[in-house]
Amino acid sequence: MTAPPLPFDPIEEARRHWRERWSEEAATEMVAVTSIMRVHQILMARLNELLEPFELTFARYEVLMLLHFSRRGALPLGKIGERLQVHRTSVTNTIDGLEKVGLVRRVPHETDGRTVLAEILPKGHEAAEAATTALHEADFATAPLDEQHLVSIFQTLRVLRDGAGDFDAA
């Protein structure tokens, strides 16, 4: 259940305070970051609602899709964390949740006894496909943005990601 909309934009109101106390530049930086964080909250709520019928959260969906697309259908837990850029504890908790609903299982690595793999199960492949269909039908919860907006957002945020060393652009 979503809360009723506020009668004003709290980020715009914060901008006003920032301008008065600091500067226009500081206000612009603050509203950009705050807007990104708020949109993250909105998208996560929408996506998790869409994924709930599949017993998934967006974090579980990301791991499931990584396994679904992997050549062998299995990856070391550490590799999952690297690819998704999340802490090992988050990977462990996510795999626990996926195991609980029967979508993946942990298996020992065939040559490295210290490594544990997460392996997608047939039910996991089915859930990955069905959940992806639902997300596509809902445009990944990005309404009311059109393709031009989405491309612009990706390109703009990629500049920030590149500047942060998020990936090797070479």
Whether 162 is covered by a domain: the verdict is no
For the cut 70, the answer to whether the pLDDT of residue 14 exceeds it is: yes
Mean pLDDT of 50-63: 97
Burial of 14 (0-12, 13-18, 19+ CB in 10 A): middle
Phi/psi at 18 (5° precision): -65, -45
Mean pLDDT of 128-134: 98
What pLDDT does 84 receive? 93
Whether 164 is covered by a domain: the verdict is no
Distances (CA, A) of 73 to 24, 58, 81, 101, 170: 50, 19, 16, 17, 28
Whether 124 is covered by a domain: the verdict is yes
Mean pLDDT of 74-91: 94
Whether 52 is covered by a domain: the verdict is yes
Burial of 67 (0-12, 13-18, 19+ CB in 10 A): buried
What pLDDT does 58 receive? 97
List the CATH number of the domain containing 100: 1.10.10.10
What pLDDT does 1 receive? 58
Whether 78 is covered by a domain: the verdict is yes
Q: Closest Cα partner for 121 from 110, 107, 108, 111?
A: 107
Domain count of the chain?
1
Residue 74's DSSP bridge partners are 119
This prediction's pTM = 0.90
Domain range enclosing 45 = 10-154
Burial of 76 (0-12, 13-18, 19+ CB in 10 A): middle
Whether 141 is covered by a domain: the verdict is yes
Q: Which two tokens stand for residue 98?
A: 């996926």
Whether 104 is covered by a domain: the verdict is yes
Whether 159 is covered by a domain: the verdict is no
Q: How confident is the model at residue 3 (pLDDT cuts 50, 70, 90)?
A: confident
114 vs 1: which has the higher pLDDT: 114
